[in-house]
Amino acid sequence: MKLYIATSNKHKVTELRALLTEALPEIEIHGADSLGGMPFVDETAKTFEGNALLKAEALNALATDKSWTLADDSGLVVDALNGAPGIFSARYAGPDANDGDNRTKLLKELSGVPKQLRQARFVCALVLICPDQEISSFTGTCEGHITLKPEGVGGFGYDPVFKPDGHEHTFGILPSEVKHAISHRARALNALAEFFRGRS
């Protein structure tokens, strides 16, 4: 089966491909580049799932074969910031912000907040459009807290400032195989893999 991933983020494609092909070795993964690139999507929905659906529909409209389209919308939810950055995680510090800018703003917003009140979670919503246009969604979360300063340079996004529960290091330090086992995206993809197994 052929699956198109609705993103122009190469890090995300690599991570999704690694997670999906491990669970479903028969799957053929393609990025949006295979369809001419990811169309611009104005992410106007108020939820992760809503924005994932917008992206899935945009790429699915370009697919002419009987394929599957998968979109993900993920973000960081911080309790002390009333759920921010949330759906604005990728552009928290502005529309042209990079990962470092976003982390800097996050740590500044949490300045003075003690460790015990820095609880946070990564959330991943996946939306799958089937060849018959049936739509399914899957959600995964990873609980943890925000560190006082960045730790490590691995991963991407907020990984260096997020320490998952039960671990002594951030996702910026933890090996990729550990992250792939416990991340919000891994948990959502596990639910997706179960969906596919149930149809086989």
**Dist CA 8 CA 31 (whole Å):** 8
Q: ∠ CA 198-34-73 to the nearest 5 degrees? A: 60
DSSP string, 61-116: TT--SS-EEEEEEEEEEEGGGTT-BGGGGGGTT-TT--HHHHHHHHHHHTTT--GG
Is residue 73 annotated as part of the catalytic site, yes or no?
yes
Do the Cβ atoms of 165 and 118 come closer than 8 Å?
Answer: no
Catalytic-labelled residue, pool 33, 72, 73, 165: 73
Taking phi over 0 as left and psi of -120 to 50 as alpha, with beta for the rest, 91 belongs to: alpha
**Dist CA 146 CA 186 (whole Å):** 20
**Dist CA 144 CA 141 (whole Å):** 10
By annotation, the residues acting in catalysis are 73
